[in-house]
Amino acid sequence: MDTAKISKAEMVSKSHDMESSWDDDLKKLLQTFPKEKGWLGSDLYFYRGFWYPSLILKAFISFQKHFQAFNSDIIVATFPKCGTTWLKALTFSTLYRNQFPWDENPLLAFGPHRLVRFFEHDLYLNNTFPDLQNVCVYQPRLFSTHVSYGSLPTSIKDSGCKFVYICRNPMDMFISLWQFMAKIQDKNQESLSASQENPNKILFLKYEDLKEDTGYHLKNLAMFLGVPFTDDEEKQGVIEKIVKICGFENLKELEVNKKGAHTSGVPHADFFRKGEVGDWSNYLTPFMIECLEKLIQEKLNGSGLTFKLSSKTSNNIGTA
């Protein structure tokens, strides 16, 4: 008798049982959360300070319940449309640069989102217990999330794992999200405080700063990840090579990023739009700018966060 086959079949049936009872529990749980219609017309549920579609919420709760962090894990944590794709490419290329020949960088064949997987939008999306061992080909493990620091599983917060966080000026983030949502339709405060309290655990970046001097911030990123660039690597131009391979124009033009789609169904190409600072000024009317500026000032008041609104001038918003 093939015991391996039986135990596998048993495992599958057990996990189906767990899935269906978990689905029932979730349905009951959802009824207790505040609910609103989202931008795309689907229901959003309010949980721990954020609004989630039910599928993402289910994935998020599984992730919270079951993920076991390793001290060596690295997590790219971002608010949507703030530079996730770029930071995934930079972190992957920096962290694993000595684990593959340079001209065989997997980034050339697989997109950043395939190489650095989201917990809630990907790994736990249709799977209560994803096979993390097979997902992470390189070590240390590298993951990503859009979930806020305060909502992460305690196993992550209590472990020694590190975070790289990027934020972006809210005007460009808003336009980027709006354009992205329009395409889909056709077919930070908490992290800043946490990074100030624990700078060895969280590296806090801003899209605009990364855009202004990518090499400088990449050196800091490598140091933070515990893989600083050596003098030899600097002389050999490794930093410039990583900046170039992860650059917007390069990634956008790679075949792998022009075709196919992310697990969520979003075409890879939609993650690469313009990649500029200040594109909001091409879309917002003076009245909309005034409203947004007021709102941003109000929300950032006393936070210590400021954002560059344009690459050309020292047009800033927020409180220093």
- Which residues are at the interface with ligand PAP (CB under 6 A)? 78, 80-86, 172, 176, 179, 246-248, 251, 271-275, 279
Calculate the alpha carbon distances from 224 to 70, 88, 118, 303 in Å: 17, 15, 21, 24
Cβ neighbours of residue 312 closer than 8 Å, sequence gap 6 or more: 278
> Is 262 considered catalytic here?
no
Whether 204 contacts 168, CB under 8 Å: no
We find the least distance from the C-beta atom of residue 81 to ligand PAP, in angstroms, to be 4
Which C-beta is closer to ligand PAP: that of 67 or that of 118?
A: 118
Which C-beta is closer to ligand PAP: that of 55 or that of 139?
A: 55
- Choosing from 146, 217, 262, 268, the catalytic residue is 146
Q: How far apart are CA 320 and CA 318, in angstroms?
A: 7
We find the least distance from the C-beta atom of residue 14 to ligand PAP, in angstroms, to be 34
We find the least distance from the C-beta atom of residue 175 to ligand PAP, in angstroms, to be 6
Which C-beta is closer to ligand PAP: that of 87 or that of 161?
A: 87
We find the least distance from the C-beta atom of residue 157 to ligand PAP, in angstroms, to be 22
Which C-beta is closer to ligand PAP: that of 26 or that of 245?
A: 245
Which C-beta is closer to ligand PAP: that of 146 or that of 162?
A: 146
We find the least distance from the C-beta atom of residue 181 to ligand PAP, in angstroms, to be 10
HEC string of the chain equals CCHHHHHHHHHHHHHHHHHHHHHHHHHHHHCCCCEEECCCCCEEEEECCEEEEHHHHHHHHHHHHHCCCCCCCEEEEECCCCCHHHHHHHHHHHHCCCCCCHHHCHHHCCCHHHHCCEHHHHHCCCCCCCCHHHHCCCCCCEEEECCCHHHCCHHHHCCCCEEEEEECCHHHHHHHHHHHHHHHHHCCHHHHHHHHHCCCCEEEEEHHHHHHCHHHHHHHHHHHHCCCCCHHHHHCCHHHHHHHHCCHHHHHHCHHHHCCECCCCCEHHHHCCCCCCCHHHHCCCHHHHHHHHHHHHHHHCCCCCEEECCCCCCCEEECC
We find the least distance from the C-beta atom of residue 305 to ligand PAP, in angstroms, to be 18
Which C-beta is closer to ligand PAP: that of 159 or that of 188?
A: 188
Q: Which residues are catalytic?
A: 146
